[in-house]
Structure 1
Amino acid sequence: MEDFYWDYNFTGDFSHYSTDLSHILSDSAPCEPEALEINSYVIVIIYALVSLLSLLGNSLVMLVVLHSRSTCSVTDVYLLNLAIADLLFALTLPFWASSKMNGWTFGTVMCKIISFLKEVNFYSSILLLACISVDRYLAIVHATRTLIQKRHLVKFVCLTVWGISLILSLPMLLFRSIVHLSDSTSVCYEDLGSSTTKWRMVLRLLPQVCGFILPLLIMLFCYGFTLRTLFKAQMGQKHRAMRVIFAVVLVFLLCWLPYNLVLLADTLMRNHWIEETCERRDHIDQALEATEILGFLHSCLNPIIYAFIGQKFRHGLLKIMVTYGMVSKEYLPKEARPSFVGSSSGNTSTTL
């Protein structure tokens, strides 16, 4: 009798699983997957709360930016697009929550679309954060106004970011499908037939390099020199204005870096660059499930950062509420603040 192990661990995303669901083990008994012991109902509740908070928070961010669009800065435009990406992702969470309980029941077309939106959100988020880091680097380190004065260039950059994100996410549209397991559970993940294992390495490494590692290196370079310039020149006001951007980047890394590191370890193991054992496979599968939940949380955190750290965001929101008679004018600060993301100096459009 042949020995097989299932290369499968049921989560809401399935993006890290191989379609080659069984492998013959030559000298060992089958590996029994050890699922992460998190109650499915708890995860569904987490997904529901994240979805609601993300829809509410990012809608408010979009409302505030668009309400002051005549005076919005370059960073405002980037953060508006970031809110749109998170909003789109929040719309997919109910589907992942349902699949957590009942398997994938929405058909192949929705499998492709929902997986596609999830990938687009991830890539567009980190690419937009990289663009913000370059903008801050040019504005503060080189004191240039090129991108700031020509707003149409910023729109072109955002369109380029969305285009790259769509291209990097195309494998989700092309290769995602419904696979029925032996226990009648349906799952949504890549299916490339007998070539799945080989192509999965390509489908993982290229997006990880282009959609995570390179943008991360750009951010580290730009913010490293930006911080050095701020502290060297003792630009206290600019430093305070950068707090929101630094917080946004830090939260993104805290949410998504663990998942990408574990995914890299999983890729190395499946490519036999590190030794594969049953224990290591179980640990990586559990880590993928836990870190993916952490990554999903990211979509609702940026508006919370803006609310607690971004003084101009609070001012913009209060201004809208005063306009529609929701609060009294006495709650509005006397000092007028012209922009959602404000400007800390004449030549820099900085942060919330």
Structure 2
Amino acid sequence: MQSEHSPVEHREDVISHKLAGMHPVSWQEALEGKQTLLRLANPSDEILDAIQERFSLDDLHIKDIRNPNHPPHFTRMAGETVHIILRFPIDKKSDEEESLTTSVSILADKEMVCLIWPEERHHRFSSKEMVDLTVAECVSRIIHKLVDHLLQRVYILREDIDEFEDECLADVSKADLSHLLSMRKELSALARLGITNAAVIEKLKIDETYHSSVVLADALEHMHRAAALAESKAEHALNVMQAVQSLLSQRLNDVMKFLAVITVVMTPMGIIAGIFGMNFTHMEILSHPNGFTLSVWSMLLLAIVLAIIFKVRKWW
């Protein structure tokens, strides 16, 4: 079998094959032929014009195809053409990079499938996975692969959050709640993607051409699972954040309580010391031979009594 990047293709972002045997053809032949698959990334105006004519699309559909932020959508048009827009996460190159998503359009009728990334291609499909499939089977397989990518991202993020939550709870003083909040936001976004993508797949599943597709039914189940797992873990992460904040507040309360006790215990000593520090000419106790010793022991005794009172009343 020939490589996906065959000499027949002049652009790395244009890949076209016949489904039977997955033999490479030009994108013009793919649009004019039968049982063909065309995969595009950041398509040129020339190719989009040809696709618009091939599937009888209006300008609004072309605008939707170009939009990388378009929400999931399903349209059944005349001539057995379906236009499916799904939305999936983009793999991050580093932990510091912000999590992003992108839309992908699938155009299909009885004769061909066209998969279009509005910008850079973020997921690749092996030709071996598509060989000798029908158009409907090819559409179902593409959707299944994209769904599995989202589900896998949910699994990975769940594991990352589990490890980070354990670190946060092990030492709340070092807990990076901003990072945990960032991961929770990504999980919530994946849950919303799962719900909206599932709604589109359900509409496609009702279509008479795809209602018996086992692969599509499995993709729908995976999408619901991804949404459920992401929602539950996002809720759990929120609970952990609240628990960490409560522990931090409790620790701060303990510190403030200790400082308050010390302040109350030391205040009488300060008062007594202040009295003896007054600049009066006659203070009888100053002439007493044990005056200093008595005053010190009195202050210590008063502090001990106050400490015992705090302890008995469980204020400390």
Tell me if both proteins adopt one fold, taking TM over 0.5 as the criterion.
no
Structure in which a larger fraction of residues adopt helix: 1
TM-score w.r.t. length of structure 1: 0.28
Structure in which a larger fraction of residues adopt strand: 2
Structure having greater relative contact order (Cα 8 Å, sep ≥ 6): 1
* Higher radius of gyration, 1 or 2: 2
